[in-house]
Amino acid sequence: MEGSAPTPVEVAPKPMPAKVGAWSWPRAWEFALAFLLGICSVIVVQSAWKLLSPPEAIAASTISLDLNAADAGTLRQLPGVGPHLAARIVDHRDKHGPFQRIDDLRAVHGIGPATVERLRHMVMVSYNGAESGGDSRPMQPLRSGPKTTPGEPIDLNTATREQLMTLPGIGPTLAERILADREENGAFATVNDLTRIRGIKGKTLEKLLPFLVVRKGERGT
Protein backbone atom coordinates (compact mmCIF):
# COMPACT_ATOMS: atom_id res chain seq x y z
CA MET A 1 0.00 0.00 0.00
CA GLU A 2 1.06 3.49 -0.75
CA GLY A 3 2.30 5.37 2.21
CA SER A 4 2.96 2.26 4.38
CA ALA A 5 6.40 1.93 6.08
CA PRO A 6 8.78 -0.68 4.72
CA THR A 7 9.09 -3.85 6.77
CA PRO A 8 12.44 -3.85 8.64
CA VAL A 9 14.82 -6.65 7.80
CA GLU A 10 16.34 -8.42 10.81
CA VAL A 11 20.07 -8.79 10.60
CA ALA A 12 21.73 -11.57 12.67
CA PRO A 13 24.43 -10.22 14.97
CA LYS A 14 27.94 -11.06 14.00
CA PRO A 15 29.67 -13.53 16.38
CA MET A 16 32.23 -11.90 18.58
CA PRO A 17 35.75 -13.14 17.92
CA ALA A 18 37.24 -15.21 20.74
CA LYS A 19 39.57 -13.29 22.93
CA VAL A 20 43.19 -14.21 22.45
CA GLY A 21 45.37 -14.10 25.52
CA ALA A 22 48.58 -12.22 25.70
CA TRP A 23 50.49 -15.53 25.33
CA SER A 24 49.26 -18.81 23.91
CA TRP A 25 51.23 -22.09 24.12
CA PRO A 26 51.15 -24.22 21.02
CA ARG A 27 49.51 -27.54 21.73
CA ALA A 28 52.73 -29.46 20.86
CA TRP A 29 54.66 -27.43 23.44
CA GLU A 30 52.08 -28.21 26.09
CA PHE A 31 52.46 -31.95 25.46
CA ALA A 32 56.27 -31.68 25.54
CA LEU A 33 56.19 -29.74 28.81
CA ALA A 34 53.84 -32.25 30.42
CA PHE A 35 56.11 -35.09 29.32
CA LEU A 36 59.22 -33.44 30.79
CA LEU A 37 57.44 -32.71 34.06
CA GLY A 38 56.39 -36.34 34.29
CA ILE A 39 59.97 -37.54 33.80
CA CYS A 40 61.25 -35.09 36.43
CA SER A 41 58.64 -36.32 38.90
CA VAL A 42 59.69 -39.93 38.39
CA ILE A 43 63.37 -39.04 38.92
CA VAL A 44 62.60 -37.11 42.11
CA VAL A 45 60.54 -39.98 43.52
CA GLN A 46 63.24 -42.55 42.73
CA SER A 47 65.97 -40.40 44.30
CA ALA A 48 63.92 -39.85 47.45
CA TRP A 49 63.24 -43.57 47.74
CA LYS A 50 66.95 -44.42 47.51
CA LEU A 51 67.78 -41.89 50.22
CA LEU A 52 65.01 -42.85 52.62
CA SER A 53 64.88 -46.60 52.17
CA PRO A 54 67.27 -48.74 54.31
CA PRO A 55 70.07 -50.57 52.51
CA GLU A 56 69.14 -53.99 51.25
CA ALA A 57 70.52 -56.75 53.43
CA ILE A 58 73.10 -58.92 51.77
CA ALA A 59 72.15 -62.53 51.25
CA ALA A 60 74.09 -64.92 53.45
CA SER A 61 75.02 -67.14 50.51
CA THR A 62 76.71 -64.30 48.62
CA ILE A 63 78.63 -62.47 51.33
CA SER A 64 82.04 -62.78 52.91
CA LEU A 65 82.87 -59.33 54.25
CA ASP A 66 86.33 -58.66 55.59
CA LEU A 67 85.90 -57.20 59.08
CA ASN A 68 89.30 -55.52 58.75
CA ALA A 69 88.57 -53.78 55.45
CA ALA A 70 84.82 -53.07 55.29
CA ASP A 71 83.68 -49.53 56.06
CA ALA A 72 80.63 -48.63 58.13
CA GLY A 73 78.41 -48.30 55.06
CA THR A 74 79.21 -51.86 54.00
CA LEU A 75 78.96 -53.36 57.49
CA ARG A 76 75.47 -51.93 58.04
CA GLN A 77 74.18 -54.16 55.25
CA LEU A 78 74.74 -57.21 57.44
CA PRO A 79 71.57 -58.54 59.10
CA GLY A 80 71.11 -57.04 62.54
CA VAL A 81 73.89 -54.49 62.07
CA GLY A 82 72.53 -50.96 61.79
CA PRO A 83 74.43 -47.69 61.33
CA HIS A 84 75.27 -47.29 65.04
CA LEU A 85 76.61 -50.83 65.47
CA ALA A 86 78.57 -50.58 62.21
CA ALA A 87 80.19 -47.37 63.46
CA ARG A 88 81.12 -49.09 66.74
CA ILE A 89 82.80 -51.94 64.84
CA VAL A 90 84.91 -49.52 62.81
CA ASP A 91 85.72 -47.45 65.91
CA HIS A 92 86.83 -50.56 67.82
CA ARG A 93 89.01 -51.61 64.88
CA ASP A 94 90.65 -48.17 64.71
CA LYS A 95 91.38 -48.08 68.43
CA HIS A 96 92.49 -51.67 69.02
CA GLY A 97 93.82 -52.72 65.63
CA PRO A 98 92.49 -55.30 63.15
CA PHE A 99 90.26 -58.13 64.29
CA GLN A 100 92.19 -61.36 64.59
CA ARG A 101 89.21 -63.67 64.69
CA ILE A 102 85.46 -63.40 64.24
CA ASP A 103 84.83 -63.95 67.95
CA ASP A 104 86.65 -60.66 68.63
CA LEU A 105 83.40 -58.98 67.61
CA ARG A 106 82.13 -59.76 71.10
CA ALA A 107 84.41 -57.02 72.40
CA VAL A 108 82.29 -54.47 70.52
CA HIS A 109 79.55 -52.96 72.68
CA GLY A 110 76.15 -54.21 71.55
CA ILE A 111 77.34 -57.48 69.97
CA GLY A 112 76.59 -60.66 71.87
CA PRO A 113 77.06 -64.38 71.17
CA ALA A 114 73.83 -64.63 69.14
CA THR A 115 74.90 -61.83 66.80
CA VAL A 116 78.36 -63.36 66.35
CA GLU A 117 76.86 -66.72 65.42
CA ARG A 118 74.47 -65.08 62.97
CA LEU A 119 77.35 -63.29 61.24
CA ARG A 120 79.94 -66.06 61.44
CA HIS A 121 79.24 -67.44 57.97
CA MET A 122 78.93 -64.00 56.40
CA VAL A 123 82.21 -62.41 57.46
CA MET A 124 85.91 -63.19 57.52
CA VAL A 125 89.07 -61.54 58.79
CA SER A 126 92.33 -60.85 57.01
CA TYR A 127 95.58 -61.05 58.91
CA ASN A 128 99.01 -60.32 57.43
CA GLY A 129 97.65 -60.93 53.95
CA ALA A 130 95.91 -64.19 54.85
CA GLU A 131 92.19 -64.66 55.06
CA SER A 132 90.30 -66.68 57.59
CA GLY A 133 86.68 -67.24 58.40
CA GLY A 134 87.30 -69.25 61.54
CA ASP A 135 89.54 -69.41 64.55
CA SER A 136 92.31 -71.69 63.32
CA ARG A 137 95.11 -69.31 64.39
CA PRO A 138 96.26 -69.28 68.01
CA MET A 139 94.83 -66.14 69.54
CA GLN A 140 95.01 -64.30 72.79
CA PRO A 141 91.77 -64.83 74.73
CA LEU A 142 89.45 -61.89 75.10
CA ARG A 143 89.92 -60.18 78.41
CA SER A 144 86.84 -60.05 80.59
CA GLY A 145 88.32 -57.66 83.16
CA PRO A 146 90.79 -54.79 83.40
CA LYS A 147 94.45 -55.37 82.64
CA THR A 148 97.05 -55.70 85.36
CA THR A 149 99.29 -52.76 84.55
CA PRO A 150 103.03 -52.95 85.23
CA GLY A 151 104.21 -51.90 88.65
CA GLU A 152 106.99 -49.72 87.24
CA PRO A 153 107.48 -48.03 83.85
CA ILE A 154 108.63 -50.26 81.01
CA ASP A 155 111.49 -49.24 78.74
CA LEU A 156 109.93 -48.85 75.31
CA ASN A 157 113.16 -49.88 73.57
CA THR A 158 113.59 -53.18 75.43
CA ALA A 159 109.99 -54.19 76.13
CA THR A 160 108.89 -57.62 74.96
CA ARG A 161 105.61 -58.45 73.29
CA GLU A 162 104.20 -59.79 76.56
CA GLN A 163 105.25 -56.66 78.47
CA LEU A 164 103.69 -54.37 75.90
CA MET A 165 100.42 -56.28 76.09
CA THR A 166 100.13 -55.44 79.79
CA LEU A 167 99.76 -51.77 78.86
CA PRO A 168 96.28 -50.20 78.63
CA GLY A 169 94.90 -50.24 75.10
CA ILE A 170 97.69 -52.47 73.74
CA GLY A 171 96.62 -55.84 72.39
CA PRO A 172 98.60 -58.38 70.38
CA THR A 173 98.21 -56.45 67.14
CA LEU A 174 99.50 -53.13 68.45
CA ALA A 175 102.27 -54.88 70.35
CA GLU A 176 103.43 -56.50 67.11
CA ARG A 177 103.31 -53.15 65.31
CA ILE A 178 105.46 -51.51 67.99
CA LEU A 179 108.06 -54.27 67.79
CA ALA A 180 108.05 -54.19 63.98
CA ASP A 181 108.52 -50.42 63.93
CA ARG A 182 111.35 -50.61 66.47
CA GLU A 183 113.04 -53.31 64.39
CA GLU A 184 112.68 -51.37 61.15
CA ASN A 185 113.33 -47.80 62.30
CA GLY A 186 115.52 -48.28 65.33
CA ALA A 187 115.06 -47.28 68.95
CA PHE A 188 112.42 -44.75 69.94
CA ALA A 189 113.80 -41.35 70.92
CA THR A 190 110.82 -40.53 73.15
CA VAL A 191 107.59 -42.19 74.16
CA ASN A 192 105.76 -39.67 71.97
CA ASP A 193 107.27 -41.41 68.94
CA LEU A 194 104.59 -44.06 69.41
CA THR A 195 102.21 -41.82 67.47
CA ARG A 196 103.89 -43.03 64.30
CA ILE A 197 102.33 -46.44 65.00
CA ARG A 198 99.01 -46.93 63.24
CA GLY A 199 96.28 -47.25 65.84
CA ILE A 200 97.98 -45.17 68.55
CA LYS A 201 96.38 -41.75 68.72
CA GLY A 202 96.33 -38.97 71.28
CA LYS A 203 94.05 -40.60 73.86
CA THR A 204 95.79 -43.96 73.63
CA LEU A 205 99.17 -42.28 74.05
CA GLU A 206 97.95 -40.40 77.12
CA LYS A 207 97.01 -43.72 78.74
CA LEU A 208 100.47 -45.16 77.97
CA LEU A 209 102.63 -42.26 79.18
CA PRO A 210 102.59 -43.22 82.90
CA PHE A 211 103.75 -46.76 82.11
CA LEU A 212 106.54 -46.18 79.57
CA VAL A 213 109.98 -44.64 79.56
CA VAL A 214 112.84 -44.32 77.11
CA ARG A 215 116.15 -44.78 78.89
CA LYS A 216 118.87 -42.87 77.10
CA GLY A 217 121.39 -45.64 77.56
CA GLU A 218 119.12 -48.09 75.72
CA ARG A 219 118.47 -46.09 72.58
CA GLY A 220 121.27 -47.64 70.63
CA THR A 221 120.12 -51.20 71.33
**CATH of residue 158:** 1.10.150.320
Mean pLDDT by 10 residues, the chain (221 residues): 59 58 67 81 74 52 72 85 89 85 88 86 67 41 46 88 87 88 91 89 85 71 43
Using CA atoms, how far apart are residues 130 and 192, in angstroms rounded to an integer? 31
- 162 with 197, same domain? yes
pLDDT of 55 reads: 52
In a domain, 25, yes or no: no
Domain that holds residue 107: 60-132
pLDDT of 22 reads: 52
Using CA atoms, how far apart are residues 88 and 111, in angstroms rounded to an integer? 10
Burial class (CB in 10 A: 0-12, 13-18, 19+), 219: middle
pLDDT of 137 reads: 40
In a domain, 12, yes or no: no
In a domain, 77, yes or no: yes
In a domain, 144, yes or no: no
- 119 with 64, same domain? yes
CA-based R_g, the chain, Å: 37
> Per the structure, how many domains does the chain have?
2
pTM of the complete model beyond 0.85: no
